[in-house]
Amino acid sequence: MAPLLLTADTGVVFGRALLVTTGLAIALGACAATNPPGGVAGASSAAGDAPPPTASPDVLPPPPPPLPPAPTAAEVPLLLSRSGEHIIDQAGRPVVLRGVAFGNQVWGHRALPVTHHGEIDFERVRAMGMNAIRFYMYYGTLEDDAAPGIYKPAGWKWLDQNLAWARKHGVYLILNMHVPPGGFQSNGEGQALWDVPANQDRLVALWREIAARYVGQPMVAGYDILNEPGVSKSKAQWQALANRITRAIREVDGRHIVIVERVNSIAKQWTNDADMNFFLVDDPNVVYTFHFYEPFPYTHQLAGWVQMGEGGKYPDETKMARAGDTDWLNIATFDSPRLPAGDTDWTHTEGPRLPATDPRAVIGHVSLVGKKVAGGRVWFDDLVVEEFDGRGNPLGEVLRADLKLLGGWYFWSDNHSGRAATDFDGHVGNGSLTIQGTTGDANLGSWQNEFPLRAGHSYAVSGWMKGRQVPADAQVQIRLDFLGSGAPIQVRNKAFLASELDRYLAWGHAHGVPLFLGEFGLFRPCFENDRGGLRWVEDMLDLAAQAGLSFTYHAYHEDGFGLYGGNGVIDPSRANQPLIDLFTRKLADGDRPPAATKARSGGR
């Protein structure tokens, strides 16, 4: 997820994932990144099973009284606001938020996630040199589907306690609605938020209530009003709702920053428009946020919910990590060996060498062809691509792929027939990719397994295939394709991260607004087996520092992405200590909110 200083995912990520993410990300990211598939059980269904009501007018009941007492003169300068492309405090001093996300077990629908963290964790955050926590919220903490608009005292008490801890230890809280009425958004499953007007009414009313309660709380850095919006029809849906929520907040709180994320997906399509899915909100005190989880096959490797396999190392100059569309050049090994008709057990095939002599050809791509398979079925496994120099001398492998998962693969069919799937039966061990039911041209391709070409060199692909009831006119083969690209080809390194970040930052500069990297992070396997996770995080921190970019890392405590593993009470023995040490080393001189004379918890 990310995706997000990306994606996926988020919590899921496609998370995002994340922090600058992508769609997933992200990639899928990201934050699609850490969240289970299927959206939010209960949240969507509770509101989605009833007939869609008529949208209510944008009129809400009077707000509750704000928390007493009013902020003192010493506290007022702590309130943050936007000034041009910067975040400043009330005294005009620039503030860069550098922190981590508290996931608060939102994907488990824990109304009061009291085992997720305690006061000691605010101390640990400050000890790393951080000054902010992106605080994930599940709407069920404050209201139930059975009684919408009736806000729960236990939920307010828990939030108040966290704000007291934040103030005591000098950490800003960014209140983030991660799971709204209508369902978790990152995986594109929370459609009930967009298609059931009552859910939007509830979200607007809930944010108005939150803002009214915390209007005088300086340790609230801002209201991050929705995580990774996945709209059902168009970007305009989120633009309209974001403006509506902002207007409701301003009725009761004219001072706190409102944080608005770009659109994460539209009808489950994770693509970007010319504005990187951002839009402007009609309010002068808005910060815009994105998630970053690039390159997604690396940041989410071995993540089961997005079916990602082994994603390799960082940095890796042999791994493609590009942006932009590719061009089909009709340069391919069309004469690669074909699977015969009928039934065939696992068969090894070796394709011919394909020379990279056309200057337009810059990318190598493997296609698993399953043309006119009809009622039959074909299996593919264990791909290898080898490189040869201009004299034909072997230079080694540029790709080896064990085809157990569909993550990173896409299925193309010229007439939309057939489907691709995974199967337990593999050439060696368990797992392979399959194609069946096609009546026209079709193949499986993988952006994850593309590789850069070197001019004058040759490449050859080999692999294993198997068939059942393959028709005589079917075409089943492992084909090597050469592609062109209108964008510069980049590999997996810091320069790629910088160029991807620049796509987001450029929008902020063009519109004179500040950006916030709400999520970036790595799935735990990236820190194992010398895969380079620490190097990726350090490069991201350096790039954020160079850009003066506020950020929060995903996440503090969870199994997938956490600084601390597990989902119950924190076990220090499950800490990712090298990562904690990295943050401490890089952020030890970080900004800290001015000290207060005493902590003050809200309460009505």
Name the phi and psi angles at 81, rounded to 5.
-155, 175
- The stretch 163-167 carries a mean pLDDT of 96
Q: Does the pLDDT value for residue 555 go beyond 90?
A: yes
Please state the rounded mean pLDDT for residues 576-588. Answer: 95
Helices and strands per DSSP (H, E), number in the chain: 10, 28
Token pair for 589: 């001189």
pLDDT at 25: 31
Q: Does 344 fall in a domain?
A: yes
Is residue 383 assigned to a domain? Answer: yes
Cβ–Cβ < 8 Å for 76, 92: no
Alpha helices in 104-234 (DSSP H): 119-127, 153-169, 192-195, 197-214
Q: What is the pLDDT of residue 594?
A: 43
**Please, what is the average pLDDT of the chain?**
86
107: left (phi over 0), alpha (psi -120 to 50) or beta: alpha
For 247-266, b/e burial (b = at least 16 CB within 10 A) is ebbbebbebbbbbbbbbbbb
- List, for residues 304-359, the tens digit of each pLDDT value: 888 788 889 999 988 888 656 788 999 999 999 999 999 999 999 999 999 999 99
Q: Which two tokens stand for residue 89?
A: 């405090």
* Range 114-121, long-range pairs (CB < 8 A, 24+ positions): 114/158, 115/568, 115/569, 116/557, 117/556, 117/557, 117/570, 119/165, 119/168, 119/169, 121/556, 121/557, 121/570
Please compute Rg for the chain using Cα positions.
25
Q: Which of 587, 387, 363, 382 is nearest to 478 (CA)?
A: 382
Considering only the C-alpha atoms of the chain, give the largest distance between any 2 of them, rounded to a whole number of Å: 84
Start-end of H helices in 180-294? 192-195, 197-214, 235-250
Give pLDDT tens digits for 252-278.
999 999 999 999 999 988 889 999 999
Q: Is residue 406 part of a domain?
A: yes
Q: Is residue 393 part of a domain?
A: yes
Range of the domain at 330: 324-485
Q: Please say if the pLDDT value at position 192 is more than 80.
A: yes
Nearest to 383 by CA among 365, 371, 395, 370: 365
Whether 221 is in a domain gets the answer no
Query: Which among 442, 444, 471 is positioned nearest to 374, based on CA atoms?
Result: 471
The reported pLDDT for the residue numbered 320 is: 84
Q: How large a percentage of the chain has pLDDT more than 70?
A: 84
CA distance 407 to 101: 26
Structure tokens at 399: 């790709």
Cα 539 from chain centroid? 18
Alpha-carbon span 155 to 139, nearest angstrom: 10
Condensed to tens digits (0 to 9), the pLDDT of residues 200-230 reads 999 999 999 999 999 999 999 999 999 999 9
Residue range 11-21, pLDDT digits in tens: 222 222 222 22
- Rounded Cα distance between 532 and 525, Å, is 10
**Euclidean distance between CA atoms 2 and 9, whole angstroms:** 5
Q: Which of 257, 253, 336, 320 is nearest to 289 (CA)?
A: 257
- Left, alpha or beta for 403 (phi > 0: left; psi -120 to 50: alpha)? beta
How large is the average pLDDT for residues 126-130?
Answer: 96
The pLDDT tens digits for 400-451 are: 999 988 877 889 999 999 999 999 999 998 899 999 999 999 999 988 889 9
* pLDDT for the residue numbered 323: 55
- Whether 533 maps to a domain, the answer reads no
Residue 451 lies in a domain: yes
The pLDDT > 90 percentage for the chain reads 74
In a domain, 380, yes or no: yes
Tally of domains in the chain = 1
Residue 77 to residue 71: CA distance in whole angstroms: 10
Region 30-50 average pLDDT = 32
Whether residue 133 contacts residue 101, with contact meaning beta carbons closer than 8 Å, is answered with: yes
Q: How far is 83 from 514, CA to CA, in rounded Å?
A: 8
Checking if the pLDDT of 377 tops 60, the result is yes
